[in-house]
Structure 1
Amino acid sequence: MKTDHIIIIRFSAMGDVAMTVPVVYSLAHQYPDLRISVLSRPFAKAFFSHMPKNVDFIAADLKNEYKGIKGLNQLYGRLKAKQPTAIADFHDVLRSKYIRTRFTLCGYKTAHIDKHKNGKRKLCRQKDKVMEQQPTSFQNYAEVLSKLGYPINLSFTSLFTNGGNQLSQLSNIIGEKPDGERWIGIAPFAAHNGKMYPKEKMEEVVKVLSTEYSNLRIFFFGGGKEEKQILNTWAAKYKGCTCASEVLHGLNEELVLISHLDTMISMDSANMHLASLVGTRVVSIWGATHPYCGFFGWNQKEDDAVQNTELECRPCSVFGNKPCHRGDFECMHSIAPSAIIERLNL
């Protein structure tokens, strides 16, 4: 008898791929005889290296090896050779639609995500906002699986439930965590201005934490060249600070360190989701976007979301990529550094 084999497609972005993890993990545990393949870009491999044995990862370089229609046809052939019985499209963009459609036309069972765009549009419009919680990405992904005959209970806790997160794997610069010392992560960057706390204000947070709390060690996270320059400057300027992204190698090492943090301070960005995947508490900072849009971190507490709830223009964007209607990003500038520090409950 042919083994059921589902291929799950989600190409980007990092935060969205990270949000598939609790769903895939729950599916794997509740259907141990189901073969599960996750198709994504190569960067995502670390997310799925701590999965149950019935999960494997398929890396697809869409910019080179599988570029364009010719590349997608080659990718389709590669996937078809794996003899899937169902295709779950967690992305529903041009590339995933093309692959999904080819499988549909050949008689395969397929289903795709409902992104609930209408509800998000009402939530983010300037006038007559409808301030209602939208279905989360976790719920939307799970709904795709349910359509294919695999209803699940979301039961995920951490990628490192069975270990594998020893600090000894990391650079000696990180070292072991002394008893009584609290480790705080700070990921101050995001893809768009509407989601990023002003760096001058974030530096004030760093300054207070570094000078007024003797039992803290602070780790900075940010991967870009300019980002690392800022973080290295802070690390040199303030005691007890380390630019983790400078000394760690790859996503898996970041996940290991993050799993040992007491709290991560993050924007509405991928780092919120990385911390969520390893069971670390996140104090998240929200500006143009809002937890109601459905992208809040897995198992995070709403009380740990720092946001200006008085501004009637919020939220104005699902992804934080729209120009500010006011022109001043008051949603972020109005949040005092002290509000973030207080939320840490040090």
Structure 2
Amino acid sequence: MTVEELSKLKKILIIRLSSLGDILLTTPFVRTIKMQFPNIKIDMLIREEYADVIKFNPYLNNKLFFKKNDQDYNRLIEQLRDSRYELVIDLQNNLRSKKVASSLNIKTVKFDKRSFDKFLLVNFKINKLKQAPPIPIRYSSTINDLKLDKEGLDLFTDKSASTIILDKKNLIGFCPGARHFTKRWPEEYFIELGNIIIYNGYSLALFGGKIDKEICARLSREIPGIIDLSNEDDLLQTAADMKLCEAVVCNDSGLMHVASAVKTNVIAIFGSSVKEFGFAPYNCNNLILENNFLNCRPCSHIGRSSCPKKHFDCMNLTNATMVFENLKTILKLR
């Protein structure tokens, strides 16, 4: 599909069912299409639990939500067929998204996941991704010669910042959670860093969703003065609060991309994953901390429940003092 061919279309469907970060990484692509071709109607299909990611996105005409039960699925397919799309852009490219796209029986272009290249890097440390562009640019390559703007990610919210942080100066955010263990910097390091930050006169806020509840509770108990803003997955409130942060310290997680989207400074700590996969903070002021000298990295492209080498050096060798020094550096760059 070329830009010229795209320009002749009236209505398209973009599919990216999950997850939080991956959907946020589609937003430069969506925005660019709408800005260059304002007459094209763009609908997007995502899983229902991520609805807030696109809820207020002005570049989308209709937001559609995938539900798991058969009755809702059949109703969804009928709705999509009735919409008479001229093109499907499948940015998920898995069995589920392929099933949806094939049910519509129209032209479909698919995101190249480069699965074999990821397999080579994880299992044999053969790096064919060294020059690979970040994921938003790879999404855009589904349309030949489409050039993204430089504006970064979009996350639109209708929420105001929590009153508890409105008068806080030099506010730093912590996002200690991640879906997989090997992508989480040890919580005792977060505790040590938190106490250093408080001692040096900064305010500190804690962010996390439902799956981060326990780790956030422990950090809240161990760091005197920290403001616990973790919540039951109120993404739009989290985004509004993050905007007030001077910087956010996070793992390679969905909230890292939220921090990128609200244009705060980002300190991202990478353990088992590497930036060559394309999921680094996008078009924002950021520093990535990773131990590139370890020949066991990456051990997975999504994360693991434990370190296969038992030492967890990819995270353990990044200490709190190192992170604080990088935090001071990025604050000077602001």
Q: Could you tell me the TM-score, scaled by structure 1's length?
A: 0.84
The separation in 1 between residues aligned to 2:298 and 2:16, in whole angstroms, is 26
The separation in 1 between residues aligned to 2:23 and 2:93, in whole angstroms, is 13
Aligned length: 322
Query: Which of 278, 288, 295 is the aligned partner of 1:312?
Result: 295
Alignment match, 1:255: 239
Once the two structures are TM-superposed, the CA of residue 335 in structure 1 deviates from its matched residue by 1.0
Matches within 5 A, 1:208-223: 208-211=196-199, 213-214=200-201, 216-223=202-209
**Secondary structure of the structure 1 residue equivalent to 2:230:** helix
1:337 has 2:327 as partner: no
The separation in 2 between residues aligned to 1:341 and 1:228, in whole angstroms, is 24
**Secondary structure of the structure 2 residue equivalent to 1:266:** strand
Matches within 5 A, 1:251-290: 251-290=235-274
**Secondary structure of the structure 1 residue equivalent to 2:141:** helix
Q: Percent identity?
A: 26
Alignment match, 2:307: 324
Does the aligned pair in 2 maintain the 1:11–1:91 contact within 8 Å?
Answer: yes
CA shift in 2, pair 1:238/1:122, >3 Å: same
Query: Which of 92, 110, 113 is the aligned partner of 1:112?
Result: 110
Does the aligned pair in 1 maintain the 2:132–2:276 contact within 8 Å?
Answer: yes
Once the two structures are TM-superposed, the CA of residue 221 in structure 1 deviates from its matched residue by 1.3
1:155 has 2:158 as partner: no
Alignment match, 2:41: 35
Alignment match, 2:5: none
1:17 has 2:17 as partner: no
Q: Which residue type is aligned with residue 235 of structure 1?
A: S
Alignment match, 1:83: 84
**Secondary structure of the structure 1 residue equivalent to 2:204:** strand
The separation in 2 between residues aligned to 1:319 and 1:229, in whole angstroms, is 22
Query: Which of 221, 242, 246 is the aligned partner of 2:227?
Result: 242
Alignment match, 1:297: 281
Alignment RMSD: 2.5
Once the two structures are TM-superposed, the CA of residue 72 in structure 1 deviates from its matched residue by 3.4
Alignment match, 1:103: 104
The separation in 2 between residues aligned to 1:330 and 1:256, in whole angstroms, is 34
CA shift in 2, pair 1:85/1:131, >3 Å: closer
The separation in 2 between residues aligned to 1:114 and 1:131, in whole angstroms, is 13
1:203 has 2:191 as partner: yes
Can you give the 5+ residue segments of structure 1 that lack an aligned partner in the other structure? none
Query: Which of 212, 216, 226 is the aligned partner of 1:231?
Result: 216
The separation in 2 between residues aligned to 1:131 and 1:40, in whole angstroms, is 27
Q: Could you tell me the TM-score, scaled by structure 2's length?
A: 0.87
Does the aligned pair in 2 maintain the 1:219–1:242 contact within 8 Å?
Answer: yes
The separation in 2 between residues aligned to 1:11 and 1:128, in whole angstroms, is 30
Once the two structures are TM-superposed, the CA of residue 80 in structure 1 deviates from its matched residue by 1.4
The separation in 2 between residues aligned to 1:250 and 1:113, in whole angstroms, is 29
Alignment match, 1:187: 175
Once the two structures are TM-superposed, the CA of residue 128 in structure 1 deviates from its matched residue by 4.9
The separation in 2 between residues aligned to 1:264 and 1:127, in whole angstroms, is 31
Alignment match, 2:14: 8
The separation in 1 between residues aligned to 2:207 and 2:125, in whole angstroms, is 37
The separation in 1 between residues aligned to 2:60 and 2:128, in whole angstroms, is 42
Does the aligned pair in 1 maintain the 2:185–2:316 contact within 8 Å?
Answer: yes
Does the aligned pair in 2 maintain the 1:187–1:271 contact within 8 Å?
Answer: yes
Does the aligned pair in 1 maintain the 2:251–2:268 contact within 8 Å?
Answer: yes
**Secondary structure of the structure 2 residue equivalent to 1:218:** strand
Does the aligned pair in 2 maintain the 1:194–1:288 contact within 8 Å?
Answer: yes
Once the two structures are TM-superposed, the CA of residue 125 in structure 1 deviates from its matched residue by 2.1
CA shift in 2, pair 1:300/1:311, >3 Å: farther
